[in-house]
Structure 1
Amino acid sequence: MAKAKVMAGACGFTSVIKVTKTGKMKVRVQIISACQYLRSLNEDLAEVDCSRNVFGKMVDSVIYQAASRRLKHPDCPVPCAIIKTIQVELGGAIPKDVTIKIETNG
């Protein structure tokens, strides 16, 4: 199992993404979060066939399509984290942290 912890920022929610390989190119995604919209993604991502539109263009990705239907804010970093965690669980990427640091000059 691969796991990611996402501290999303202004919304104040911290989410945990757990991805478990269930077949050669299949995974189960579980999102643990106080955000009801993120939790609703669990219905769509209970079993993901990664050989079908997960890692292609963003507009075709089943992860981003589900996020588009379920989430209220397009700036949510969780869909990206889901894809990265899937990549790690399938052995296509090494576990490496991602950081977004936002500053103002004002």
Structure 2
Amino acid sequence: MAKVEIFGGICGFNTIVSATAEQRRMVELKVESECPNWQKVQEQLKKVDAYKELFGKLHEGEIYRLSSPFIPHPACPVPAGIMKAVEVAAGLALPGDCLIKVSG
């Protein structure tokens, strides 16, 4: 199982993603978000094929396809966090923190 905590930044919304894979390829997702836009997506985003998400074209995966109608901010870090959860749950990466540091 992989758990990813995503702190959205200036929006102030936090999202927690839990990902499990009983079979290496199919990953079950649980997305819990304070963001009202991600709350619309979390009901639809339940299971993904890790290989299609991680080795396909970015715009063709289920994560981005399902979220794009609801997420008005393209720089939102949540899709990348979900992808990292899928990657770890499927055994395709070791768990490790990521960081986007923004200064002005």
Taking structure 1 as the reference length, the TM-score comes to 0.88
Corresponding position: 1:48 with 2:48: yes
Q: Shift of the alpha carbon at 1:44?
A: 2.4
Query: What is the CA-CA distance between 1:59 and the residue it aligns to?
Result: 1.5
Count of aligned positions: 103
Structure 1 outlier segments of 4+, above 4 Å: none
Give percent identity, aligned residues only. Answer: 34
- 3-state SS of paired residue (1:69): coil
CA radius of gyration, larger in? 1
Mapped partners of 2:49, 2:2: distance in 1: 16
Give the Cα–Cα distance (whole angstroms) in 1 for the partners of residues 42 and 23 of structure 2. 18
Residues 26-82 of structure 1: per-residue CA shift (max 9 Å, x gap): 11111111112112222322121234x311121212211112122121111000110
Aligned partner of 1:3: which letter?
A: K
- Matched residue type, 1:101: K
Question: What is the alpha-carbon distance in structure 2 between the residues aligned to residue 47 and residue 99 of structure 1?
Answer: 26
Q: Of the two structures, which has the highest relative contact order with CA contacts closer than 8 Å and spacing of 6 or more? A: 2
Letter in 2 for 1:29: L
Distance 1:8 1:73 in 2: 11
Alignment of 1:1-106 (within 5 A): 1-51=1-51, 53-55=52-54, 56-104=56-104
SS state at 2:30 partner: strand
Unaligned runs of 5+ in 1: none
Instruction: Specify the code of the residue in structure 1 equivalent to 2:68.
Output: S
SS at structure 2 position matched to 1:99:
coil
Q: CA RMSD in A?
A: 1.4
Deviation at 1:18, TM superposition (A): 0.6
